[in-house]
Amino acid sequence: MNIAVIPARGGSKRIPRKNIKEFGGKPMIAYAITAAKNSGLFDHVLVSTDDAEIAKIAQAWGAETPFVRPAELANDYTATVPVVVHAIQACEALGWDFSNVCCIYPGVPFIQVEDLQGAFKHLEAGSADYCFPVTEFPSAIQRALKQGSHGVMQPFFPEFQLTRTQDLEPAFYDAGQFYWGQKKAWLSNPRIHSSGAGYVIPSWRVVDIDTPADWDRAERLALATDVR
């Protein structure tokens, strides 16, 4: 059995009420809930929140809210893994029996059902504790620059300054959409990035919505790609 955990606290600062703010005609969190339910992968799709309004909206879109997230796990400094661990323990206390957990972030309007399914297959077929979507950096990280005094640019890695871009190893970054993991891994191994397999997705579907500028970019992309 698998469960989906969508962590959605109420105290977002840079974009107030971000998790339930309307995006494309529905609350932002609805995209994560709908994708999880449509994937056919989960026996339970639940939202971990400290906020009554978020819980009500989540329920209206078909998610479960079987517990209230404690305040100490709902501040600006709380990492993802402790929130998922709390959700696992709360669900076990309810008598639920499950083997895998997928943490799906609430601000993912471009999430695809096929990615959830593909990453799960990747997790099952491999030996990694986790699997999460990644995408390639748009430029070679070995050619990255830093700005010094008087605006003078310097390479971070001078040894690659004259190397052709096509000869450099590709680099990837976390798409920030979801993390599949074995339940035992969530409970014992918090190092997702060094213990997980990457599931590559197109860069155009990767938008990290943290600031009003990010939100504006995401809305423009949604209009261009007909996201609903």
| CATH number of the domain encompassing residue 22 | 3.90.550.10
| CB 112, CB 120: distance < 8 Å | no
What is the arithmetic mean of pLDDT over 41-57? 98
CA dihedral angle for residue 52, residue 83, residue 216, residue 134, rounded to 10 degrees: -150
What is the arithmetic mean of pLDDT over 56-83? 96
What is the arithmetic mean of pLDDT over 26-37? 98
Q: Which amino acid is at 189?
A: N
pTM score above 0.85: yes
Q: Is 185 exposed, middle or buried (0-12, 13-18, 19+ CB in 10 A)?
A: buried
- Pairing mode, if any, of strands 178-182 and 130-136? antiparallel
Range of the domain at 48: 2-225
Q: Which residues of 35-59 are buried (b: 16+ CB within 10 A; e: fewer)?
A: bbbebebbebbbbbbbbeebbebbe
**Residues 110-141 pLDDT 10s:** 999 999 999 999 999 999 999 999 999 999 99
- pLDDT score at 228: 59
* Residue 227 reports pLDDT greater than 70: no
Instruction: Count the domains in the chain.
Output: 1
What band does 12 get if pLDDT is binned at 50, 70 and 90?
A: confident
